[in-house]
Structure 1
Amino acid sequence: MALSKEEIAARYGTALFDYAQDMKALEAVHADLQELRQALSAHPQILQVFSDPILNTTEKKKALSAIEQGLVDEVQNFLNLLLDYNHFSALPAIIAYFNDLYNKNKKIMAGTAITSIELDESQLKALGESYAQKYGLTQVHLDNEVDDSIIGGVILKVGDYVVDGSVKNKLTKIRARLISKD
């Protein structure tokens, strides 16, 4: 029975994460995978080359050796393993799964700050640091989404958590209290 791309990503991503930890190379592997992710995003045809059934294994290995230059041994070995088992096309999903494990391990989360006006990088960074400190995280990376219907304040969505500090929410709560007193 063939494995789905998600199952492959989970198995290989977990194996690479555990291997990198065992080899005390987690940071180096993470850094190399981020470079690979950016390269694959900029040049998606790379995946097509290594998934092409017309090219033989020798040609693929030769092409891979050019890509591997400068990468740590753990990542080089891993890329060769993917090529040997014909799972190279799953590399972006494997990197994403590895990143999820890395972020959980390092207590790093990503989220969205919904505001009525656009926030600059320093404001997002300060908001992320405040949230991280309050909830025992090392880092929170925030993107900004503008929604003028919230009037003011901010709604933070980080992981499965939502912190609603919007003016609209506060007015709704005040209204509910006034109605319940009648």
Structure 2
Amino acid sequence: MSQVAKRYAEALFQLAQQKQVVDEITTDLEELIKVIETTPELLSLLSSPKFSIERKKQIVAEIFASASPIVVNTLQLLIDKKRVDEVKSLANEYKLLASGALGSAEATVYSTRELTDSEKNEISTAFAKLVGKEKLIIKNVIEPSLLGGVRVQIGNYIFDNTVANKLEGLKRTLVG
């Protein structure tokens, strides 16, 4: 994580807290990242010297017209400072700050099938306490190679209760 992205994220988070729009900004940043990931040309265009800074800011204002003005202003500031390549890092850092302040953490849960809402709630309840949080925001990733069970990743913590992991442990024990 770059220090630049961290500083911008902290400033954005403080502003969002003052204006009481932390959740809205989080949602807008998630949408922004989806747009950037699905159309990487946008980041190239915003970094290109072929367009003036004013034109780039105008493009951002048009594309993200429905987003919070705070997010649009942040993007335009990144364009001004020639730091638009930091936008993904900024968004990720902001999400960490927001979830930390709200007593939650992001978790990636790997499973062989889509988890139901009640399963996600059970996992959130069980694992949130282990990392000292009130709840987890769960992103479910389908991974058939696990064979069964789940692997939960929360920051640097990994809780692996998958059939594939148990078989690997058994293999190590038997082969010795």
Q: TM-score range by the shorter chain?
A: 0.7 to 0.9
Distance 1:126 1:97 in 2: 25
For structure 2, the residue ranges without an aligned partner over 5 or more in a row are: none
Give the equivalent residue in structure 1 for 2:3.
7
Q: Work out whether residues 155 and 162 of structure 1, in 8 Å CA contact, stay in contact via their aligned partners in 2.
A: yes
Superposition TM-score, scaled by structure 2 size: 0.75
Q: Residue 21 of structure 1: which of 6, 17, 23 is its match?
A: 17
**Mean Cα displacement is larger for which, 135-144 or 13-22?**
135-144
For structure 1, the residue ranges without an aligned partner over 5 or more in a row are: 176-182
Deviation at 1:110, TM superposition (A): 0.7
Superposition TM-score, scaled by structure 1 size: 0.73
Q: In 2 relative to 1, CA 59–24 (structure 1 residues): closer, same or farther, beyond 3 Å?
A: same
Distance 2:35 2:2 in 1: 21
Give the root-mean-square deviation of aligned CA atoms: 2.8
**Mean Cα displacement is larger for which, 102-111 or 44-53?**
102-111
The reply on whether 1:130 has 2:125 as its aligned counterpart is: yes
Q: Work out whether residues 113 and 144 of structure 1, in 8 Å CA contact, stay in contact via their aligned partners in 2.
A: yes
Larger Rg computed on CA atoms: 1
Distance 1:153 1:71 in 2: 39
Deviation at 1:100, TM superposition (A): 1.7
Secondary structure of the residue aligned to 2:3 is helix
Give the equivalent residue in structure 1 for 2:32.
36
Q: Please tell me the residue identity of whatever aligns with 1:12.
A: Y
Deviation at 1:68, TM superposition (A): 3.0
Q: Work out whether residues 5 and 90 of structure 2, in 8 Å CA contact, stay in contact via their aligned partners in 1.
A: yes
Secondary structure of the residue aligned to 1:139 is strand
Q: Sequence identity of aligned pairs in percent?
A: 23
Deviation at 1:25, TM superposition (A): 1.4
Q: In 2 relative to 1, CA 133–48 (structure 1 residues): closer, same or farther, beyond 3 Å?
A: closer
Give the equivalent residue in structure 2 for 1:120.
114
